Amino acid sequence: MQPSARELTTPRTPPSHDPSMRGRPGMVKRAPSEILVLAQHPQIIAAAMEAAQRVYAMPPCLIRHGMEALRYLCGPGLPPRRLLVEPAAAGSAWAALLSILDDPSLTDTIIIVTADGLGAPTGMAALPAKAAALAAALRARPPSPHRSLPTSDKALARGLGRDGLLVRYQPVVRIADRRPVLVEALARWRGRPMMHAPDLFVPALERAGLARVLALAVLSRAARDIGPQAPRMAIGVSVNVALDQLLLPDLSIWISQALRSGGLAAQDLTLELTETTPVHDRALLARAIRRMEAAGHGVLLDDLAMDDGRLGLQSLGFAGIKLDKSLVGRLPADGRARRFVRHVVDEANRRGQVVTAEGVADARLWAAVAALGVHRAQGYWVGRALPAAMLGIWQRRWAALA
């Protein structure tokens, strides 16, 4: 989505509060622990508490109902790294929980625990409610995700055409008024027990010549998922695109077809140019950006880092710049990084561009980017990548913190 006049003004610094520690009705307080326990059975709760004390010398975050867990897991804040789950406690929220529990950015380990002779759900292994067994599972290293990835080009193509591809959506908000403005579509690959991050499967798809198929598959899924929600939530969606795809003259035709299939308006789609390929022909890139703008799509320069040689591309007509999380993480303690970001923001304001900070993981980073005039924020402090069906829960949690 194109930046509004309000975004190009000085944003306010938010009140100092931790969204994971709010005490409002319906909100879940976070314990100072990396372990989340969803359980109701007394034996499971007791075993989980003892296991957490053995491994981390602190209690876990205990949640007793599936809908509480959904509100907690869909809200702002850093995610827990270990999850102990009693399926019976999840109730009707079990399927929805499964759709977010297997994200590698959310958790390292999912441990299913049962008691009273109850079995695990079909296709899942479970541990008994014994502290020693749970402590051993918490200490164990997660299994290598590479073992469940397809090994052949044909298997990768089949996975793209069937149910291998998953798409998650990470919210982006305007700092000035905390209003959600878009979600970034992020590709994942279905796996067991957890899905795979793009650094594990995207290179394999590119080697197999499936980069364009992947981009269009993500775009089509995003159009179907976000198209019905965009008017109600007043948001757009951004999709990553590689340089060689952006330069193709017929890209706008493929995009138009995908948008029609999902009912997403052209102006609600933004493209993010990924950083992996160097730009050798600036004039060619500028023409591609103008083509996309004529079709209604802004193009963002993604993952701008400190001393990035691509900074000179800012003048080519991009709708905005995204600051890499490595740069954002340096801001509180690094004066040179702050001066670099201030220069980027000043130039963006002069050109009518919007600047987004990625990796805003806590209040300190939010305050740092707000003080530098950055327009938008994205990261765990705002919200993690979620299934499309969970965005409404996230929006209500986020609005409750305003």
Residue-wise pLDDT for 185-216, tens only, equals 999 888 766 677 788 788 888 888 888 888 88
Whether the per-residue pLDDT at 19 is higher than 60: the answer is no
CA distance 360 to 367: 10
Domains of the chain: 31-139 (3.40.50), 147-400 (3.20.20.450)
Res 196: pLDDT: 79
Give every CB contact of residue 76 below 8 A, 6+ residues apart in sequence. 19, 20, 380, 381, 382, 383, 394, 397, 398, 401
**CA torsion sign, 183 to 186 to 192 to 193?**
negative
Residue-wise pLDDT for 300-352, tens only, equals 999 999 988 888 999 999 999 999 999 999 999 999 999 999 999 999 999 99
Quote the pTM value.
0.87
- Look-up of token digits 């008024």: 177
- Look-up of token digits 């994200």: 103
Following DSSP, what letter does each residue of 212-237 receive, concatenated? HHHHHHHHHHHHHHHTTTHHHHT-EE
Residue-wise pLDDT for 37-62, tens only, equals 999 999 999 999 999 999 988 888 99
Residue-wise pLDDT for 71-102, tens only, equals 988 989 877 878 899 999 999 998 888 888 77
The CB density around residue 209, as the number of other CB atoms within 10 Å, is 11
CA dist 9 → 219, 351, 353, 369 (Å): 31, 13, 11, 14
**CA torsion sign, 337 to 354 to 385 to 246?**
negative
